[in-house]
Amino acid sequence: LGLKMLSAQNFGESGKMKEYHYAGPTEHRFSPYAFNGGTVLAVAGEDFAIVASDTRLSEGYSIHSRDSPKCYKLTDTTVLGCSGFHGDCLTLTKIIDARLKMYKHSNNKTMTSGAIAAMLSTILYSRRFFPYYVYNIIGGLDEQGKGAVYSFDPVGSYQRDTYKAGGSASAMLQPLLDNQIGFKNMEGVEHVPLTKDKAVQLVKDVFVSAAERDVYTGDALRICIVTKEGIEEQNIPLRKD
Amino acid sequence: MALEDICNFKDKPTHKTFPFYASEDTSVSVFTEAFNFKWRGEMTSKKASDVPLEFHVPSLFKRPSSRASHSVSVRRPFPLSHGTTTLGFIFQGGVIAAADTRASAGGLVACPAVHKITPIHSHLVVTSSGSGADCMLWERILTREIRLYQLRHKRRLSISGTAKLLSLMLHPFKGTDVCVALTLCGWDKLIYVCSDGARLQGDIFSVGSGSPYAYGVLDRSLSWSLNKEEAILLAREAVFRATHRDAYSGNNVDLFHVTAEGWRQRQREDLKEEYYRDMEKRGLLGFSNWFTHLFLEE
């Protein structure tokens, strides 16, 4: 399992292999974590939100599955994207679903995106000393119908953003999004607000780039577009190597 | 929920963390007792150190030899957000609190636009540094407790009282890797509370990886008799110099001014513009000729 060279210990941040050289006898302990790769991305627009993820599930040098999307539909107006350790992703989504049902039965209304974000923060922090190894991003519509994106760190720190990338290729995608959606680091550019079609095209292009350079991202792209009409899903193939 | 607590509504906890204290090992029970705070209802005595959060504690790595084994925890495969510059000082016109807005996780900028200064109520603002998630959650818990106090006792808790409450709430986590260093900025007092147990009142505090640079700038020009504009400029300058030299601080500067009338927030300012203005003023742009040419052309 996770004991020898392919264990999580040999991976530095975001699953990149550390340098291999003989440093003397080392002790290998059982690590309860594994890194399953995957990238998640969310963009908020004026009246829509997009949550996209690749569908590759990997571990070390192997691919477990090419069809394991990381977007989970929580309510009609909220989608959660989680990447990192797949076991923790599954448990976390189960817990969130249960809490959503409890809220619905106690309060007779569905949870809003902001409330789900606050709840997820406390769920993650309750495991402060044995964290869920999951990078979460929530995308949805807020009470006014505007797009909202909430990004989390693995122990529950969160904030509302306009766009965010998480997961293995996040360090590559985030600067690209800063430039294209946030118009950062460019002089003399007109700040055009993002339309839904343009945003979807941008997300597709961005994932194609990520699949080129990140080994843990690829196979297919699942896009969930949240509007007041509902949640539309699209599947786009990516490179499979 | 707040209303339930006031009415002493006893509800069965609907979700409990898995009871790990299955073994008879005494060290395990001591460990879990310190962390096993009930969410609502069960505990009849409401001590000040009660924390309204249940913590799941891993007992997989229990070593019977280590006593106060708070530090034994699962090795995390990811870094948490840390690194900051925050400062606060008192002057004749009230209290200024300023902070940068960068959250770094290892070598990556996790978020360039974080709010490190949060208002707790109309006359109290708290600057946070240390681990981002810890600060965010503990501020929420503190706000909740302050509000409950106000509802129960029909008066607001004083700033010293707030600081003491926070310190007592953090005490069970001393020795773990909860890393929280908050500066409570009231309208006439500054109190620094930290998860190591420190609770200090003072006239000037700067916390974080960029604090030495900020202290240098503040110690030079700070005096009681500054007027409001000078104080704001000083705070801004201190954060700007710290962000320039400290890798883990940067992006924008947030500024709050607290007076007896309440707090007022200044517009968040991008320090990139300030940097170029400063370089131009000092004539240092000339070191790269084509760059100067470009800049002056505009």
Closest partner residue to B55 (CB to CB) among A32, A129, A133 is: A129
Contacts of B75 in chain A (CB under 8 A): 9, 29, 31
Q: Is B33 or B276 the better-scoring residue by pLDDT?
A: B276
Using the beta-carbon criterion (under 8 Å), do A11 and B73 form an inter-chain contact? Answer: no
Residue B53 forms contact with A (CB below 8 Å): yes
Predicted local distance difference test score (pLDDT) of residue B103: 87
Task: Quickly state the pLDDT bin for B132 (edges 50, 70, 90).
Answer: confident
B56 → chain A, closest CA residue: A127
Q: Cβ–Cβ of A130/B176 closer than 8 Å?
A: no
Partner-chain contact A157 B54, CB within 8 Å: no
Residue contact B137–A126, C-beta within 8 A: no
Token representation of residue B83: 């690194």
**B133/A129 CB distance under 8 A:** no
> Residues of A numbered 202-241 whose beta carbons fall under 8 angstroms of chain B's beta carbons: which are they?
none
* Cα–Cα dist A159/A118, whole Å: 9
Average pLDDT, chain B: 76
Chain A residues close to B114, C-beta within 8 Å: 159
In A, which residues are within 8 Å of B53 by CB distance?
122, 125-126
What pLDDT shows up at residue B34? 40
Say whether pLDDT at A63 is over 50: yes
Q: Tell me the three-class secondary structure of chain B, residue by residue.
A: CHHHHHCCCCCCCCCCCCCCCCCCCHHHHHHHHHHCCCCCCCCCCCCCCCCCCCCCCCCCCCCCCCCCHHHCCCCCCCCCEECCCEEEEEECCEEEEEEECCEEECCEEEECCCCCEEEEECCEEEEEEECHHHHHHHHHHHHHHHHHHHHHHCCCCCHHHHHHHHHHHHHHHCCCCCCEEEEEECCCCEEEEECCCCEEEECEEEECCCHHHHHHHHHHHCCCCCCHHHHHHHHHHHHHHHHHHCCCCCCEEEEEEEECCEEEEEEEEEHHHHHHHHHHHCCHHHHCHHHHHHHHHC
- In the annotation, is B17 catalytic? no
CB atoms within 10 A of CB A228: 10
- Of residues A11, A98, A130, nearest to B73 (C-beta): A130
* pLDDT per position as a tens digit, A222-237: 999 999 999 999 999 9
- Asked if pLDDT for residue B29 goes beyond 50, the answer is no
Residues of B in contact with A127 (CB under 8 A): 55-56
| In contact, B211 and B179? CB cutoff 8 Å | no
CA A230 from centre of chain? 20
Residues of chain B above pLDDT 70, percent: 67
Percent of chain A with pLDDT over 90: 78
Integer Cα distance of A187 and A207 in angstroms? 26
Which residue matches tokens 């504690």? B57
Can you give the pLDDT at residue B41?
33
Over 60: is that where the pLDDT of B45 sits?
no
Q: Which residues of B touch A121 (CB under 8 A)?
A: 133, 136-137
- A131 part of contact set with chain B, CB < 8 Å: yes
Chain A, 168-187: which have a CB under 8 Å from a chain B CB?
171
What pLDDT, in 10s, does the model give residues B51-100? 556 666 665 444 444 333 334 456 666 666 667 899 999 999 999 999 99
Percent of chain A predicted with pLDDT > 70:
92
State the SS3 of chain A. CCCCCCCHHHECHHHCECCCCCCCCCCCCCCCCCCCCCEEEEEECCCCEEEEEECCEEECCEEEECCCCCEEEEECCEEEEEEECHHHHHHHHHHHHHHHHHHHHHHCCCCCHHHHHHHHHHHHHCCCCCCCCEEEEEEEECCCCCEEEEEECCCCCEEEECEEEEECCHHHHHHHHHHHCCCCCCCCCCCCCCCHHHHHHHHHHHHHHHHHHCCCCCCEEEEEEEECCEEEEEEEECCCC
Q: Does the pTM exceed 0.80?
A: no
Is residue A203 scored above 80 in pLDDT?
Answer: yes
pLDDT digits (tens, 9 = 90+) for A165-183: 999 999 999 999 999 998 8
Query: Rounded mean pLDDT of chain A?
Result: 89
Check residue B141 and give its pLDDT.
92
Mean pLDDT of A54-74: 94
Say yes or no for a CB contact (<8 Å) between B133 and A11.
no
Please state the rounded mean pLDDT for residues B113-133.
Answer: 90
Among A198-212, B68-82, B172-186, B252-266, the least confident range? B68-82
Among A192-206, B20-34, B190-204, B269-283, the range scoring the smallest mean pLDDT is B20-34
Asked if A128 reaches chain B (Cβ–Cβ under 8 Å), the answer is: yes
What is residue B168's predicted lDDT score, i.e. its pLDDT?
Answer: 94
Give A33's contacts in chain B (Cβ within 8 Å): 74, 77
Q: Would the pLDDT of A217 be above 90?
A: yes
Is B250's Cβ below 8 Å from some Cβ in A?
no
Q: Do B133 and A128 touch (CB under 8 A)?
A: yes
CA distances from B238 to A3, B147, B226 (A): 49, 33, 15
Whether the per-residue pLDDT at A47 is higher than 90: the answer is yes
CB contact under 8 A, A128 and B134: yes
- Say whether A122 and B137 touch across the interface (CB within 8 A): yes
ipTM metric: 0.75
Check B84, B86, B118, B127 and give the catalytic one: B84
Residues of chain B found within 8 Å of residue A159, distances taken between Cβ atoms: 111, 113-115
State which of A4-18, A221-235, B26-40 shows the largest mean pLDDT.
Answer: A221-235
Q: Nearest Cβ partner of A32 from B74, B106, B137?
A: B74
